[in-house]
């Protein structure tokens, strides 16, 4: 049987505001592709959340800051979730 | 060093308590005295940045900010004054800084950073503090800094959160490594409480002071992220993009 691992999502400002929480934990099958997990998460929250994460071609936006256990995920498309981890995700900010 | 301005007894009296910071001393203070810093935009972030650089005794500040002061600026732009409404922001900021520390040199540029002036402005500075509210300006500055090998402290905020990234060309990732494309959803108007932008601005100044003086350890290759709702501080290790169009050959 496929084992599940807990993934903790931590959301910065705008995303936390949309979700109504800065953190949520979901179990996922071990080996799930990161983009697949993010797509499911975006579908679950819908609307503005989805728009901030994915472009009109359903591609993950390149300017998002995504880190896994504190390490910048430069190429999220290439990553899979193989063990429990924390994914931090923030939309770009430039306020001065 | 040729052309180096030496600390005077007056300098020593002004910065006496700062000289006591371990690692600072006369050598560190002298480095600050001989530094020219470019601060782009003097708003909620850039104003406190310029103010704290002046307080620390950075020898010359180039202050770039276009437009006239508007009432809605005053909740956060602490260098501006109500009496200066409808007058150039850069002038208002320079007046405040001059009255606070008349012993440093100020150069005002009544313009935001543009594609045309970015390289010229950066070429006059030893260090750049980026506090612009538009990604295009930030990207122009980033590119000019990388091309001229000038360190840049990038500070940004939104509502109750903020971030600081210290960029040393050739050593750390650049802003385009973090944001390889212009984010489509960013809007020029953003929610802001002055205390949040001032806090992030002062973190940027500390990064700059550490880089200039060798005091402590600047956060190279990391983005500092602050959530003031929880007073949480997070460090994210940022990597250079092998296909970065700015910092890779």
Q: Within a domain: residue A96?
A: no
The answer to whether B48 and B192 are in contact (CB under 8 A) is: no
For B176, name the nearest residue in chain A, comparing CA atoms only. Answer: A63
Query: Average pLDDT, stretch A37-50?
Result: 95
User: So what's the ipTM on this one?
Assistant: 0.92
Residue B117 pLDDT > 90? yes
Of B43, B192, B225, the CB nearest to A12: B225
- pLDDT attached to residue B144: 98
- pLDDT attached to residue B249: 80
Q: Within a domain: residue B245?
A: no
Q: Do A96 and B157 touch (CB under 8 A)?
A: yes
- Residue-wise pLDDT for B181-219, tens only, equals 998 888 888 899 999 999 999 999 999 999 999 999 999
Chain B CB contacts of A63 below 8 Å: 179-183
For B175, name the nearest residue in chain A, comparing CA atoms only. Answer: A63
Q: Does B197 touch chain A (CB under 8 A)?
A: yes
CB neighbours (10 Å) of residue B102?
9
Is B129 exposed, middle or buried (CB count within 10 Å of its CB: 0-12, 13-18, 19+)? buried
Chain B CB contacts of A49 below 8 Å: none
Q: Within a domain: residue B43?
A: yes
| Å between B14 CA and nearest CA of chain A | 30
Q: Within a domain: residue B88?
A: yes
Chain B CB contacts of A86 below 8 Å: none
In terms of phi and psi (left: phi > 0; alpha: psi -120 to 50; beta: otherwise), the region of B128 is beta
Q: Do B162 and A93 touch (CB under 8 A)?
A: yes
Chain A CB contacts of B161 below 8 Å: 12-13, 90, 93
For residue A80, give the CATH number of its domain: 3.10.20.30
Q: Within a domain: residue B160?
A: yes
Query: Average pLDDT, stretch B26-46?
Result: 97
The proportion of chain B whose per-residue pLDDT surpasses 90, expressed as a percent, equals 95
Chain B CB contacts of A71 below 8 Å: 236-237, 239
For residue B228, give the CATH number of its domain: 3.40.50.720
Of A13, A55, A67, the CB nearest to B161: A13
Position B1 confidence tier, pLDDT thresholds 50, 70, 90: very low
Q: Does B135 touch chain A (CB under 8 A)?
A: yes
Residue B157 pLDDT > 60? yes
When divided into structural domains, chain B yields a total of: 1
Entry pTM: 0.95
Range of the domain at A17: 4-90
When divided into structural domains, chain A yields a total of: 1
Q: Report CA-CA distances (Å) from B92 to B8, B41, B61, B87, B109.
A: 29, 13, 14, 7, 12
Q: Within a domain: residue A95?
A: no
- pLDDT attached to residue A96: 84
Q: Within a domain: residue B114?
A: yes
For chains A and B, CB pairs below 8 A equal 96
Residue B119 pLDDT > 50? yes
- Mean pLDDT over the full length of chain B: 96
**Chain B window 159-178: which residues touch A at a Cβ cutoff of 8 Å?**
159-163, 178
Of A12, A92, A96, the CB nearest to B41: A96
The answer to whether B50 and B42 are in contact (CB under 8 A) is: yes
- Mean pLDDT over the full length of chain A: 94
Range of the domain at B111: 35-237
The answer to whether B42 and B65 are in contact (CB under 8 A) is: yes
How large is the angle between the packed helices B46-56 and B194-213, nearest 10 degrees? Answer: 40
- pLDDT attached to residue B2: 54
Of A51, A65, A88, the CB nearest to B178: A65
Q: Does B39 touch chain A (CB under 8 A)?
A: no
Q: Within a domain: residue B19?
A: no
Both structure tokens of B80: 């501006």
């Amino acid at each position: 049987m496929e084992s599940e691992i807990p993934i903790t999502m931590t959301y910065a400002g705008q995303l936390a505001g949309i979700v109504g929480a800065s953190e949520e934990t979901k179990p996922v099958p071990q080996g799930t592709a990161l983009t697949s997990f993010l797509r499911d998460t975006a579908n679950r929250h819908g609307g503005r959340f989805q728009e901030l994460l994915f472009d009109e071609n359903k591609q993950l936006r390149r300017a998002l800051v995504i880190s896994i256990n504190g390490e910048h995920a430069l190429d999220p498309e290439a990553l899979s979730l193989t063990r429990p981890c924390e994914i931090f995700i923030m939309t770009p900010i430039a306020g001065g | 060093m040729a052309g180096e301005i030496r600390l005077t007894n007056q300098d020593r009296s002004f910065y006496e308590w700062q000289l006591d910071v371990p690692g600072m001393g006369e050598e560190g203070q002298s480095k600050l005295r001989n530094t020219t810093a470019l601060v782009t935009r003097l708003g909620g972030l850039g104003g406190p940045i310029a103010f704290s650089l002046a307080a620390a005794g950075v020898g010359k500040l180039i202050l770039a900010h276009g437009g006239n002061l508007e009432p809605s600026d005053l909740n956060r732009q602490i260098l501006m004054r109500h009496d200066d409404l409808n007058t150039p922001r850069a002038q208002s900021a320079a007046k405040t800084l001059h009255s606070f520390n008349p012993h440093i040199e100020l150069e005002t540029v009544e313009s935001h950073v543009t594609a045309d002036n970015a390289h010229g402005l950066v070429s006059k500075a030893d260090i750049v503090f980026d506090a612009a509210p538009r990604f295009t300006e930030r990207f122009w500055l980033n590119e000019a800094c990388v091309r001229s090998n000038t360190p840049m402290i990038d500070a940004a905020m939104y509502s109750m959160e903020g971030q600081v990234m210290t960029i040393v060309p050739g050593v750390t990732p650049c802003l385009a490594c973090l944001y390889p494309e212009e984010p489509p959803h960013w809007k020029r108007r953003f929610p802001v409480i002055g205390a949040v932008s001032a806090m992030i601005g002062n973190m940027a100044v500390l990064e700059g002071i550490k880089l200039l003086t060798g005091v402590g350890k600047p956060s190279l290759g990391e983005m500092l992220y602050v959530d003031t709702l929880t007073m949480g501080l997070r460090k994210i290790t940022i990597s250079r993009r092998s296909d970065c169009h700015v910092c890779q050959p």
